[in-house]
Amino acid sequence: VVLEKLIDQQLAVEQAMDAKLNRSPDTVTQLETARREILAGAYIKQVASGVPRPSADETRKYFTEHPQLFAQRRIFSVQEILVGTNAEASAQLHSLVSTGKPMEQIAAWLKEKNIPFSGGTATRAAEQIPMEILGKVNALTDGQTTVIDTPASITVLHLISSQSAPVPDTAALPRIAQFLLNQRVNAAVATNLQHLRTVSKITYVGEFAQPAKPAASEPIVALAPVAANGDARRAAIDKGLAGLK
């Protein structure tokens, strides 16, 4: 089957060359784009090849230092209300939660104050929650509610229920090793490219000569949607340890 496909491909290539399609502007552009991507990918692969793999001790240390992701891993069923950054709203939300107000009353208060928000329910494993807030979520017991403030949003999170789902070291260690290697590769590539920027002359032309600045009236906070289908706010939540998947 593979051989027959290669034969068909070669026949098509020969016909394209006979028809001078290799000289058409669209084809030339696509060929050049593919060439640039292949060369850039080859260079990044070369940089990555020089990055040392994490040792067994480093991998084991990560496993030990993050029990909430492995030995004490939990799967959380949560109800959420997501609000944009608002100092006044944050203070009131903290007050409502501290006095034990249910999520329905919190949502009603937001509606009364005409504060935009989104909400829903979701089920997430520990690794789908950003590390910077996982500790706060993991500290909750079933039925508890908390407010999580971040630079981009305010989340009122109610833990409906949770279940223990530990990951044994035999399954976790290979994935941790790959995750740590990916981190090192990304850092090495970023450092290398930053160095190339400092030693290279880069000239912006045309519409890129003076990058436009955002207008002062443009919003600086984009709210991620929260849907009731369990995939809510994935863009914000899935940052955690995606490399471990």
Other residues' Cβ atoms within 10 Å of the Cβ of residue 238 = 16
The residue type of 213 is: K
Distance CA 76, CA 122 (A): 8
Distance CA 189, CA 186 (A): 5
Report the range of poorest mean pLDDT among 162-166, 184-188, 207-211.
207-211
Other residues' Cβ atoms within 10 Å of the Cβ of residue 36 = 10
Per-residue pLDDT of 107-139, as tens digits, reads 999 999 999 999 999 999 999 999 989 999 999
Helices (H) and strands (E) in the chain, counts: 8, 4
Band (237; pLDDT cuts 50, 70, 90): very low
Per-residue pLDDT of 187-228, as tens digits, reads 999 999 999 999 998 888 887 776 555 544 333 233 333 333
Residue (of 155, 133, 160, 123) closest to 144 by Cα position: 160
Where are the alpha helices (H) located in the chain, listed in sequence order?
A: 2-18, 25-49, 56-65, 87-98, 103-112, 131-138, 169-199, 234-237
How confident is the model over 69-83, as a mean pLDDT?
96
pLDDT of residue 213: 56
3-class DSSP assignment, residue 153: strand
Range picked from 87-91, 219-223, 233-237 for highest mean pLDDT = 87-91
